[in-house]
C-alpha cells in the first residue's frame, strides 16, 4: 500500500476579490520510506501543495481532490483525526524555523509537547526522549533549557527536525528546511535529515528551489510550474536527461541560459511565471519556452510517459513516445 496517494489536488486562494489558483490538479504517490523532492521557482505552488495535504492552509484556501494517507481519505477526515495525524504520523519542517518555533518557550518544552500530547508517557520520559532527540540532531542536551533566540539558525533548524521526528512519524514534509542557512550548515542539515529518514524508513517530501540539492537527497523528483507537476521521475535520470523544457531551464541544461553561478536557479530563465488568477489554457510554460510550437498555446496538456518511472507534460514527449513527427 502506498503511504500517500494524491489525485486531482487543486487549491485556490481567495484574495482581493480574485481566485488565485495556486495548485491546479496534482497527482502523485509516495511509497513507505520513499523520498520525493519538489522543485520549481518561487510562486509555483510548492508550499501550498504540501501544506494542503495536512490541511495546514489558511481559511482563505479552498482545497479539492483526494489525499489518501495509507488507507484513509484525509480530505474527508474530521479535524480531530487530522490533529491526531499531525506530528504522530506525518510531521512538517516549515520554511523558516524562526517563525515556526515559539519564542517564549524553551526548545526542550517545545520538543516535549508533541510527545506528551500523542504518547502515553510521563514528563520524565518525555524529557529523556527530548534529550535523546537533541542528541540525534547534533544539539547538546544542555540546550533543552535554551530559548530559540539563544540558538544559531542551524541549531534552530536542527531543533525543528527533532520536533518533526519526536513522535516517530511515517511521513515528513520538509519545506525548504535549509534555505536560510549558509552553504556549509545547509549541507550538514541535509545530510542529517537524509540519514535520519533513511535510518527510520520515513517517507519524505522535501521542497527546494535547488534541483541539485534535491537530487542529492531524494530518490525521485517532481518539478512544478504554475501549480502543476510538469515532470516527475527518478532523480538521476531527471537530472541527467531532463525531459521538459522547464526542467532543462531549472537544471541549467540550456546552453543559452545564464552564467554558471545561476545554473541551478531559475533566475537565468527569461520572463515571469504566469498570473495564477488566469485560466491558463494550453501549456503554462509556453510563453517562456524556447522550443514552443503554435499548438502549445491551446493543446490539452497532461503528464505523458517519458521512460521507466518518468512522466513529462510536454507535447514533444507525447510525440516522441507515440512515434509521431512534429
Ligand atoms: N495566503 C495566500 N493568499 C493568496 N495567495 C497566496 C497565499 N499563499 C500563497 N499564495 C499564492 O499562491 C501561489 C503559490 O504560492 P506558494 O507559497 O505555494 O509557492 P512556492 O512554490 O512555495 O513559492 P516559494 O518558493 O517562494 O516558497 C503564489 O502565487 C502565491 O502568491
Ligand atoms: Mg514555498
Three-state SS for 238-286 is HHHCCCCHHHHHHCCCCCCCCCHHHCCCHHHCCCCCCCCCCCCCCCCCH
Q: Is the CB of 278 under 6 A from ligand 1?
A: no
> 45 alpha carbon to ligand 1 midpoint, in Å?
6
pLDDT computed for residue 262 by the predictor: 41
> 247 alpha carbon to ligand 1 midpoint, in Å?
20
pLDDT reading at 326 higher than 80: no
Q: Is the CB of 48 under 6 A from ligand 1?
A: yes
Q: Is the CB of 44 under 6 A from ligand 1?
A: yes
> 42 alpha carbon to ligand 2 midpoint, in Å?
7
Read off the pLDDT of residues 173-228 as tens digits, 9 standing for 90 and up.
999 888 777 778 788 888 888 888 999 999 999 998 788 888 989 999 999 999 99
pLDDT, the chain, mean: 89
Q: Is the CB of 17 under 6 A from ligand 1?
A: no
Listed range (95-109, 231-245, 303-317) with the worst mean pLDDT:
95-109
Closest Cα to atom 22, ligand 1: which residue?
A: 47
Bridge-based pairing of strands 90-93 and 220-225 is unpaired
Q: Which of 116-120, 180-184, 275-279 has the highest mean pLDDT?
A: 275-279
Closest listed residue to residue 200, CA positions, set 267, 248, 137: 137
Q: Which domains does the chain have, with CATH numbers?
A: 4-89+169-322 (3.40.50.300)
Q: How far apart, in whole angstroms, are the C-alpha atoms of residue 211 and residue 306?
A: 19
Query: How big, in percent rounded to 5, are the helix, strand and coil portions of the chain?
Result: 40, 20, 40
> 108 alpha carbon to ligand 2 midpoint, in Å?
27
Helix axes 107-118, 123-136, angle to 10 degrees: 120
> 37 alpha carbon to ligand 2 midpoint, in Å?
13
Kindly give the number of the ligand 1 atom that is closest to the alpha carbon of 15. Answer: 4
Q: Residues lining ligand 2 (ion), CB within 5 A?
A: 47
> 83 alpha carbon to ligand 2 midpoint, in Å?
22
Enumerate helices (H) and strands (E) in the chain, giving the number of each.
11, 12
Which ligand is closest to the CA of 39, given by its number?
1
Q: Which of 24, 26, 45, 280 to mutate to test the pocket of ligand 1 (most atoms within 8 A of CB)?
A: 45
313 in Cβ contact with 301 (< 8 Å): yes
Closest listed residue to residue 5, CA positions, set 92, 66, 59, 76: 66
Q: What percent of the chain has pLDDT over 90?
A: 69
Q: Is the CB of 227 under 6 A from ligand 1?
A: no
Kindly give the number of the ligand 1 atom that is closest to the alpha carbon of 273. Answer: 29
Q: How far apart, in whole angstroms, are the C-alpha atoms of residue 283 and residue 48?
A: 21
Cell numbers for 7: 489525485
The burial of 149, by beta-carbon neighbours within 10 Å (0-12 exposed, 13-18 middle, 19 or more buried), is given as: exposed
Neighbours of 191 (CB within 10 A): 12
The 10 Å CB-count burial string (b at 16+, else e) for 112-146 is bbbbbebeeeeeeebbebbbebbebbebeeebbeb
Q: How far apart, in whole angstroms, are the C-alpha atoms of residue 119 and residue 128?
A: 14
Mean of pLDDT values over 93-102: 78
What length is written for the chain? 326
SS3 144: helix
Closest Cα to atom 7, ligand 1: which residue?
A: 13
> 175 alpha carbon to ligand 2 midpoint, in Å?
7
Closest Cα to atom 29, ligand 1: which residue?
A: 43
Listed range (3-17, 156-170, 263-277) with the worst mean pLDDT:
263-277
Q: What percent of the chain has pLDDT over 70?
A: 93
pLDDT computed for residue 268 by the predictor: 61
Read off the pLDDT of residues 245-270 as tens digits, 9 standing for 90 and up.
999 988 874 433 334 444 444 556 78
CB under 8 Å, gap of 24 or more: what pairs does 145-151 form? 145/106, 145/108, 146/106, 146/107, 147/103, 147/104, 147/105, 147/106, 147/107, 148/97, 148/98, 148/101, 148/102, 148/103, 148/107, 149/103, 151/107
Amino acid at each position: 500500500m502506498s503511504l500517500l496517494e494524491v489525485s486531482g489536488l487543486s487549491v485556490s486562494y481567495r484574495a482581493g476579490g480574485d481566485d488565485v489558483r495556486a495548485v491546479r490538479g496534482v497527482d502523485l504517490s509516495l511509497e513507505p520510506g520513499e523520498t520525493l523532492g519538489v522543485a520549481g521557482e518561487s510562486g509555483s505552488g510548492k508550499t501550498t501543495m504540501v501544506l494542503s495535504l495536512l490541511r495546514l492552509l489558511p481559511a482563505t484556501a479552498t482545497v479539492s481532490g483526494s489525499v489518501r494517507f495509507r488507507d484513509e481519505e484525509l480530505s474527508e477526515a474530521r479535524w480531530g483525526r487530522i490533529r491526531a495525524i499531525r506530528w504522530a504520523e506525518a510531521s512538517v519542517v516549515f520554511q523558516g524555523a524562526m517563525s515556526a518555533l515559539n519564542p517564549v518557550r524553551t526548545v526542550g518544552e517545545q520538543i516535549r509537547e508533541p510527545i506528551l500530547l500523542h504518547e502515553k508517557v510521563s514528563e520524565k520520559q518525555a524529557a529523556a526522549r527530548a534529550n535523546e532527540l537533541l542528541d540525534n540532531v547534533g544539539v547538546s542536551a544542555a540546550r533543552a533549557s535554551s530559548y530559540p533566540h539563544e540558538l544559531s539558525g542551524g541549531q534552530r533548524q536542527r531543533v525543528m527536525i527533532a520536533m518533526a521526528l519526536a513522535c516517530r512519524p511515517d511521513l515528513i514534509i520538509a519545506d525548504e528546511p535549509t534555505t536560510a542557512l549558509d552553504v556549509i550548515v545547509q549541507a550538514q542539515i541535509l545530510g542529517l535529515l537524509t540519514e535520519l529518514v533513511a535510518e527510520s524508513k520515513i517517507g519524505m517530501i522535501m521542497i527546494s528551489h535547488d534541483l541539485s540539492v534535491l537530487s542529492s537527497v531524494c530518490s525521485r523528483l517532481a518539478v512544478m510550474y504554475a501549480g502543476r507537476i510538469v515532470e516527475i521521475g527518478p532523480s538521476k535520470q531527471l537530472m541527467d536527461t531532463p525531459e521538459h523544457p522547464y526542467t532543462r531551464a531549472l537544471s541549467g541544461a540550456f546552453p543559452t541560459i545564464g552564467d554558471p553561478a545561476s545554473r541551478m536557479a531559475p533566475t537565468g530563465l527569461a520572463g515571469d511565471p504566469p498570473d495564477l488568477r488566469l485560466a491558463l489554457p494550453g501549456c503554462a510554460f509556453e510563453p517562456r519556452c524556447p522550443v514552443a510550437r503554435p499548438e502549445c498555446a491551446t493543446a490539452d496538456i497532461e503528464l505523458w510517459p517519458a521512460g521507466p518511472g518518468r512522466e513529462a507534460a510536454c507535447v514533444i514527449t507525447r510525440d516522441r513516445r507515440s512515434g509521431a513527427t512534429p
